[in-house]
Amino acid sequence: MRFVTFRRADGRTQPGVIEGDAIRPITTPAMLDYLRLAPHERIAWHAAGELVPLTGVTLEAPLRPSRNVFCVGRNYLEHAKEGARALGRELKLPDVPTFFTKAPSAIAAPDAVLHLQADVSPEYDFEAELAVIIGVRCKNVREEDAMHVIFGYSAFNDITARDVQRAHGQWFKGKSLDDTAPLGPWIVSADEIPDPQSLAIAFRLNGVEKQRSTTANMIFRIPRLIAELSRGMTLEPGDVIATGTPEGVGFARTPPEFLRSGDVMEVEIEGIGILRNTVSIA
State the residues that interact with Mg ion by CB under 5 A: 127, 158, 245
Least distance between Mg ion and beta carbon 249 (Å): 9
Least distance between Mg ion and beta carbon 118 (Å): 22
Nearer to Mg ion, 18 or 275 (CB): 275
CA distance 105 to 115: 13
Residue partners of 41: CB distance under 8 A and separation at least 6: none
Longest pairwise C-alpha distance within the chain: 60
Nearer to Mg ion, 3 or 70 (CB): 70
Say how many Å lie between the first and final Cα of the chain, rounded: 38
Least distance between Mg ion and beta carbon 6 (Å): 27
CA distance 175 to 72: 12
Least distance between Mg ion and beta carbon 163 (Å): 16
**DSSP β-ladder status, 240-242 and 128-134:** antiparallel
Residue partners of 208: CB distance under 8 A and separation at least 6: none
Nearer to Mg ion, 35 or 72 (CB): 72
Residue partners of 277: CB distance under 8 A and separation at least 6: 108, 110, 111, 112, 113, 114, 157, 182, 264, 265
Nearer to Mg ion, 62 or 97 (CB): 97
Asked if 213 and 201 touch (Cβ cutoff 8 Å), the reply is: yes
**204 half-sphere exposure, CB direction, 13 A CA radius:** 11
Least distance between Mg ion and beta carbon 115 (Å): 21
Q: Which residues pair with 204 in a beta bridge?
A: 209, 266
Least distance between Mg ion and beta carbon 158 (Å): 3
Q: Count of CB atoms within 10 A of residue 65's CB?
A: 23
Q: Is the peptide bond before 104 cis (omega within 30 degrees of 0)?
A: no
* Nearest residue (beta carbon) to Mg ion: 158
Least distance between Mg ion and beta carbon 129 (Å): 6
